[in-house]
Amino acid sequence: MNIRNPYLNDLMERIVRRDPQEREFHQAVHEVLSSLAPVVDARPELASSGVLDSLVEPERTIKFRVPWADDQGRVHVNRGYRIQFNSAIGPYKGGLRFHPSVNESIIKFLGFEQIFKNCLTGLPIGGAKGGSDFDPKGKSDAEVMRFCQSFMNELYKYIGPDADVPAGDIGVGAREIGYLFGQYKRLTTQFSGAITGKGPAYGGSLARTEATGYGLCYFADNMLRAAGRSFAGATVVVSGSGNVALYACEKATALGGKVVAMSDSEGYVYDPDGIDLPLMKQLKETERRRIREYVTHRPSAQYHEGCGGIWQIPCHIALPCATQNELDLPSARALVANGCFAVAEGANMPSTPEAVALFQEQGVLFAPSKAANAGGVAVSALEMSQNSMRLFWSFDEVDAKLKEIMTRLYHSAAQAAERYGMPGNLVAGANIASFSKIADAMLAYGLV
Ligand code: NDP
Ligand code: 2IT
């Protein structure tokens, strides 16, 4: 789809021509550039200075091989990535994803989104992302440990507390972070805040585990209340059953919602009595099992094969918390037809552009991922602060700061949307609110 500003449209076309296979990256960039037309109209120097041309090109792409041996001694070679996208307002910051679908386009889209998300937190962090096409599923702890150590044998050269600070994402949780940080510490003889999401026993922030899911609900709560709605009494569907989904379920329930469905990559469960969260955590977080096993413990619940069907379940609020492009146009149509009035994205870019357009047309309240899921990286930045100060804050202190950050973030996106004549459009608001600050920092440095 054409972007109405000719400079931005030409830039988009050049990006597609340069790397035609990077579909996810194009999708993320198109959304941002489309929102920026009114800003570039008002400030033509943003086009003539080349700052936007620089913003869409990573500062550095690191791509490396990761050899590791399985428990039978067979050698496997995976591919590792770290894309250090933009350091205009702080050290590179962003998670690592271990999933067989990982490729350069996916890491690039995630790194690009991270620049704006991190800026929106109001904390001094640049944008990056990394990962590997390694699949931790079905691997023993010893195999995961050897993979993580091999991954870090290369990555440690490029990261550090003032340079680049990785964290978790899909397939990278507490176990992987422990192995990665342990190897970083061995290789560098430094105990520093070079990785976040660490265990509380070794420098991790309390509430980091909960932060993305809780932050999502704090953001959604602000958006709902501004429209005279709330979680109270609402039926909620949460896709995924990983870190973000579990704690979104926990906070949505605490705020008065009833979560009736969750999923994994194979299927979904529908529990009309409300998801039994302790059971779900036991199965997915502690025992790493498949979600289908939920129904053997809760016979009143149903299991359905295929994760996409979850959006057919009637709900008032949808929280997609699994992965990119999991919510397409037919799913969006089903949500709208069933009376859904709000969608808040816990995963990164879970709704396709067509789904987002439908929500906006139909007046569904829509919270885009780069704003709504910023709570995770915000608490990561608070972990960096605690590590630098060699201090440790209580759970309640961190949670209070998270709530304040998400509330401020909601208002800055809502106000930017209003200022540019698009009230309620939080997609445009989030992009505009973060872009100006990043662009100003880049302009201040001059052309390099
Ligand atoms: P986890 O690995 O903890 O959980 C991922 C969940 O999504 C699992 O239920 C998984 O199912 C499901 N899933 C993964 N890939 C697919 C797929 N291709 N199709 C369908 N389902 C899939 O990851 P997180 O909870 O950390 O991350 C979820 C999303 O949130 C991602 O988009 C991530 O980028 C984003 N995010 C994460 C943050 C964090 O702090 N962790 C911060 C901000 C955003 P299965 O168990 O079958 O693999
Ligand atoms: O997508 C994300 O914001 C994350 N995976 C969290 C990044 C971080 O550095 O905590």
Domain boundaries, the chain: 6-55, 60-190, 209-372
Task: Kindly report the pTM of this predicted structure.
Answer: 0.98
- Separation of CA 275 and ligand 1 centre (Å): 18
pLDDT value of residue 294: 98
Q: Report the atom number in ligand 2 closest to the C-alpha of 113.
A: 1
pLDDT tens figures, 171-206: 999 999 999 999 999 999 999 999 999 999 999 999
Q: How confident is the model at residue 70 (pLDDT cuts 50, 70, 90)?
A: very high
- Could you give the 3-state DSSP secondary structure of residue 174? helix
Structure tokens at 269: 């469960």
Rounded CA gap, 282 and 394, in Å?
A: 25
Q: What percentage of residues in the chain have a pLDDT greater than 90?
A: 99
Catalytic residue among 93, 108, 117, 129: 129
Strands 267-270 and 365-367: unpaired
Can you tell me the mean pLDDT for 419-441? 96
Report the nearest-CA residue for atom 20 of ligand 1: 265
- Separation of CA 302 and ligand 2 centre (Å): 32
pLDDT value of residue 447: 75
Identical topology for domains 60-190 and 209-372: yes
Structure tokens at 354: 């067509």
pLDDT value of residue 448: 56
Structure tokens at 167: 């964290």
239: left (phi over 0), alpha (psi -120 to 50) or beta: beta
pLDDT value of residue 204: 98
Is the model's pLDDT at 7 over the cut of 70? yes
Which among 282, 256, 257, 261 is positioned nearest to 271, based on CA atoms? Answer: 261
Report the nearest-CA residue for atom 28 of ligand 1: 322
CATH number assigned to the domain with residue range 60-190, chosen from the 4 options 3.40.50.10860, 3.30.300.30, 3.40.50.720, 3.30.70.20: 3.40.50.10860
Is the model's pLDDT at 370 over the cut of 80? yes
224-248 core/surface letters (b: 16 or more CB in 10 A; e: else): beeeebbbeebbbbbbbbbbbbbbb
Q: Report the atom number in ligand 1 closest to the C-alpha of 246.
A: 25
pLDDT tens figures, 197-251: 999 999 999 999 999 999 999 999 999 999 999 999 999 999 999 999 999 999 9
Neighbouring residues of 364: CB distance < 8 A, sequence distance ≥ 6: 335, 336, 340, 341, 342, 343, 358
Q: What percentage of residues in the chain have a pLDDT greater than 70?
A: 100
Q: How confident is the model at residue 49 (pLDDT cuts 50, 70, 90)?
A: very high
Q: How far is CA 255 from CA 47, 220, 347, 430, in A?
A: 44, 11, 20, 24
Please count the residues of the chain. Answer: 448
Mutate to test the pocket of ligand 1, among 170, 289, 409 (most ligand atoms within 8 A of CB): 170
Strands 258-263 and 342-344: unpaired
Cα 358 from chain centroid?
22
Is the model's pLDDT at 1 over the cut of 80? no
pLDDT value of residue 27: 98
Centre a 10 Å sphere on the Cβ of residue 381 and count the other Cβ atoms it contains.
25
Which among 122, 188, 132 is positioned nearest to 413, based on CA atoms? Answer: 122
Pocket of ligand 1 contains residue 323 by CB under 6 Å: yes
Is the model's pLDDT at 295 over the cut of 70? yes
Structure tokens at 367: 């919270």
Pocket of ligand 1 contains residue 373 by CB under 6 Å: yes
Mutate to test the pocket of ligand 2, among 114, 159, 172, 373 (most ligand atoms within 8 A of CB): 114
CATH H superfamily, domain 209-372: NAD(P)-binding Rossmann-like Domain (3.40.50.720)
Give the side-chain half-sphere CA count within 13 A for 36: 28
Rounded CA gap, 359 and 362, in Å?
A: 5
Task: For tokens 């400079």, name the residue.
Answer: 7
- 129 is annotated as an active-site residue: yes
- Separation of CA 169 and ligand 1 centre (Å): 7
Q: What is the mean pLDDT of the chain?
A: 97
pLDDT value of residue 335: 98
Is the model's pLDDT at 105 over the cut of 60? yes
